[in-house]
Amino acid sequence: MVSIKNLSKTYKMGKDNDVHALRDVSFSIADSEAIALVGSSGSGKSTFLNILGGLDSDYEGEIIVGDKNIKEYNSDIYRRNVVGTIFQQFYLIPKLTVEENILLPIYFGKQLSKNEIEGRIDYLLRKVGLTDRRKHKPSELSGGQAQRVAIARALVAKPQLLLADEPTGNLDSKTGLEIIDLLKELNKEEGTTLIVVTHDVDVAKSIGKKIMLRDGKIV
Amino acid sequence: MKIVKYAYDIVFRRKLRTFLTSLGITISVILLSFIIFGMKGLENTLVYEFTSRFKPNDITVMKDGQFSQFLPSDEENKEEVTSNENAPKVEVIDDDVVNKIRNYEYTEKVSPIMLILSLDIYVETNENPYPNGNIIGYDTKGSDSLFVDYIEITKDKDKELEMGEVFIGKTVVDYYKLDTENLSDLKIILKPSRSSIMSNPSKTVVGKEYVLNVVGIVDTGQDRNSLIMSIEQSKAILADLGGFATSDELVKEIGYQQLMVTAKEGKVNDLKKFIEDEIGLTAFASDDFLSFIKIITDAITFALIMFGIVSSVVAGIGIINTMVMSIYEQTKEIGIIKAIGASNIQVLIIFLIQAGTIGLIGGIMGVAVVLAGTKFADPYIVEILQEQGFLLNKFFIVEAQTVGIIVLSSVLLGILAGLYPAYRAGRLDPVKALRYE
């Protein structure tokens, strides 16, 4: 379960100029559930994602993932093993192959045996339909394929929570919907809690449950 | 291990830049290696040169102050000088002094040495005197370890020189282009030199002439002795030149210039102490010369290494520059790897591995150049030094251990230079790094 209570974040932009990016945001999501967080530009989506993704720890309120406040985790281990993030721009490392990109989180942490790693990468490549692209570089992939690699990378360490930041933003609508379908499918299979941040109403609809964010508040 | 692989991947993305940055280290390694190996080679050459001629039991004895400029000024010697204050002062190294040393229980042998400075050497077949001729009187034979080589003319190598006989130096033979096969009747004529920095001839010596038979050719190596005669012969000539009635009178009034004293096995220091404290002469054992050589070469090495270190600093700055550039280029990537779980320490390590790798590549390239360079240059240096009379077959002595230390130091230099950039990379805020364009 992911539970967010009274989450607030204020940027201090000079002496008397406080920008409230998030104000008292509270909601919870059950395990294996998927929700869409919908909001326009400047609504506080990115701030919310940075905090939930473990990149920003300067906030007020409480976030529980599993049964632990995320502040109780070592932030590196949290990012490595508890949460997986998918970005709009894919953020693959150009010089590494598809396989190496997917395994990157394992490079930095989770101790897995060679067999476990092999099994995991085979499974993920099959799931995202890129088995034959294993040794390819990101430059040899289409946008949809690159985002599939990013999804596999986010899931490789079996996180409890998967965050997707505008995962279809750089893709055409058909490919975008395919990606959403893939995310939903994996969400069920892996039992991961999925939060998709988007401004695209169609994407939000296809996810099902949605939360609207405006000026840092849930509406 | 995975992090190492990833770090290597980053280093070799920019092959040319990595190579060029490594070149700085390479140059520094080449410079320092040649200094270290060259100076070690020089020291070994000098030590070998010395130890092959002088045995550990040999002591060179002179009058006080005659050789003091060569004394190494370490603490040990200061003490020695102080302890010598109460020792008797010897004005002349005469036969009494020689006998006192000869009769001491730890003395094996005493050989007096005379230098004749005021005569020019003429080969009977040529009118021109031999330039830079050094003439010494010293009881010796062809098989003496002082000589690198001996070519017999009429004297067996194990028989000592007698009156009227001389050995000539190989340099003299070479100078006059004499045929060594055909020298059985060669005579040497010694005549008083004209005024020079080495002599002030007096009226009494004008017109004097000494004719001696050449009985052997000696290669004196680095010693520039051109003519060697028995001590009795040299005394006779010097007595005649100086207007002394007999050789004994000469020795009594003027004395010998030096004594070559050999101690009994393991008694060098006792004998040296006896000569210095009881007799009042200055004594140099082989060890004194060796430590002197070592002090000089160490001091020069140290000074040269200071220059070498400047090049290391420049190379280090090159690495810092490259690493800072690399961080700017990879800011976004740092953001990505941090977002998926790389810790500050891991990012720091990735960049330190990069910096260390640059050092390693530079070190290996430098060592390769040094190994090839020393192999190539060695025969030429050996040839030049052999021409100068040094005994050696190999100049550069490249030890595997030193090579290992050099490569390791290059890696450490890389890591040291990479510390600040790597620290900065580790501290990058992932949110800002991901937004960086």
Residue with tokens 């101690």: B263
Q: Cα separation of A179 and B256, whole Å?
A: 106
Q: What is the CA radius of gyration of chain A?
A: 17
Residue to mutate among B10, B333, B340, B353, with most A CBs inside 10 A, is B340
- Looking at the predicted structure, is the pLDDT value of residue A110 above 70? no
What b/e string do you get for B108-142 counting C-beta neighbours within 10 Å, with b at 16 or more? eebbbbbebebbbbbbeeeeebbeebbbbbbbbbb
* Neighbour-count burial of A192, counting CB atoms closer than 10 A to its CB (0-12 exposed, 13-18 middle, 19+ buried): buried
Q: Is B15 on the interface with A (CB under 8 A)?
A: no
- Looking at the predicted structure, is the pLDDT value of residue A30 above 60? yes
Distance of CA B107 to the CA centre of its chain: 30
Q: Cα separation of A217 and A9, whole Å?
A: 11
Q: Cα separation of A171 and B28, whole Å?
A: 52
Q: CB A91 to CB B430 under 8 A?
A: no
In total, chain B counts a number of residues equal to: 437
Our CA-based measurement puts residue A164 at a distance from the nearest CA of chain B, in whole angstroms, of 13
Residue to mutate among A9, A49, A87, A91, with most B CBs inside 10 A, is A91
For residue B69, what pLDDT is reported? Answer: 47
Q: CB A53 to CB B339 under 8 A?
A: yes
User: Closest-CA residue in chain A for B434?
Assistant: A91
Helices and strands in chain A: count of H runs, count of E runs: 7, 10
What is the H or E stretch that residue B27 is in? helix B15-53
Q: Which residues contact B393 (CB under 8 A, 6 or more apart)?
A: B382
Nearest CA-CA partner of B39 in B293, B377, B221: B293
- Phi/psi for B261 (5° steps) reads -110, 135
- Phi/psi for B92 (5° steps) reads -135, 130
What b/e string do you get for A147-168 counting C-beta neighbours within 10 Å, with b at 16 or more? bbbbbbbbbbbebbbbbbbbbb
Residue in A87, A103, A108 closest to B341 by CB: A108
Q: CB A55 to CB B431 under 8 A?
A: yes
A81 CB neighbours in chain B (<8 A) are: 341
For residue B289, what pLDDT is reported? Answer: 84
Q: Which residues contact B361 (CB under 8 A, 6 or more apart)?
A: B18, B19, B22, B25
Q: Answer for the pair B39, B254: CB distance below 8 angstroms, yes or no.
A: no
Residue in B10, B339, B344 closest to A85 by CB: B339
Q: Answer for the pair A196, A35: CB distance below 8 angstroms, yes or no.
A: yes
Q: CB A85 to CB B336 under 8 A?
A: no
- Confidence grade of residue A98 (pLDDT, cut at 50, 70, 90): very high
Q: Answer for the pair A70, A64: CB distance below 8 angstroms, yes or no.
A: yes
Q: CB A53 to CB B341 under 8 A?
A: no
Q: Is A10 helix (H, G, I), strand (E, B) or coil?
A: strand
Q: Cα separation of B384 and B114, whole Å?
A: 31
What is the H or E stretch that residue B137 is in? strand B135-137
For residue B79, what pLDDT is reported? Answer: 46
Specify the pTM. Answer: 0.72
Q: Cα separation of B269 and B261, whole Å?
A: 12
Q: Cα separation of B219 and B171, whole Å?
A: 8
Structure tokens at B412: 């450490």
From residue B432, how far is each of A50, A65, A206, B326 by CA, in Å?
11, 25, 31, 17
Q: Are strands A60-65 and A2-12 parallel, antiparallel or unpaired?
A: antiparallel
Local confidence pLDDT in tens for the 437 residues of chain B: 677 878 888 888 888 989 999 999 999 999 999 998 889 888 888 888 788 777 788 898 988 766 554 555 554 554 444 445 566 777 789 999 999 999 999 999 999 999 888 888 998 878 888 887 789 999 988 888 888 888 888 888 889 899 999 999 988 888 888 887 878 888 999 988 876 665 667 777 888 889 999 999 998 876 778 899 999 999 999 999 888 999 999 999 989 989 999 999 888 889 999 998 888 888 888 888 888 888 999 999 999 999 889 999 999 999 999 999 989 988 988 999 998 888 999 999 999 999 999 999 999 999 999 999 999 999 999 998 888 777 778 888 888 898 999 999 999 999 999 999 999 999 999 988 988 87
pLDDT digits (tens, 9 = 90+) for B113-126: 998 888 889 988 78
Q: What is the ipTM of this complex?
A: 0.88
Q: Which residues contact A41 (CB under 8 A, 6 or more apart)?
A: A199
Q: Is B60 helix (H, G, I), strand (E, B) or coil?
A: strand
- What is the average pLDDT value for chain B, to the nearest integer? 86
Q: Cα separation of B155 and B333, whole Å?
A: 86
Q: Which residues contact B384 (CB under 8 A, 6 or more apart)?
A: none
pLDDT digits (tens, 9 = 90+) for B356-390: 999 999 999 999 999 999 999 999 999 988 887 77
B430 CB neighbours in chain A (<8 A) are: 55
Q: Which residues contact B346 (CB under 8 A, 6 or more apart)?
A: A76, A108, B3, B337
Q: Answer for the pair B47, B286: CB distance below 8 angstroms, yes or no.
A: no
Q: CB A79 to CB B3 under 8 A?
A: no
For residue B424, what pLDDT is reported? Answer: 93
Give me the half-sphere count of Cα atoms (radius 13 Å) on the Cβ side of residue A72.
8
Give me the half-sphere count of Cα atoms (radius 13 Å) on the Cβ side of residue A94.
7
Q: Is B125 helix (H, G, I), strand (E, B) or coil?
A: coil
What is the H or E stretch that residue A195 is in? strand A193-198
A109 CB neighbours in chain B (<8 A) are: 341
Structure tokens at A45: 């989506």
| Mean pLDDT score, A135-164 | 91
Question: Taking each helix axis from N to C terminus, what angle separates B331-339 and B286-329, rounded to the nearest 10 degrees?
Answer: 80
Distance of CA B29 to the CA centre of its chain: 23
Q: Which ranges constitute the DSSP H helices of B388-429?
A: 400-427
Q: CB A108 to CB B5 under 8 A?
A: no
Q: Cα separation of B426 and B214, whole Å?
A: 82
Q: Cα separation of B61 and B93, whole Å?
A: 10
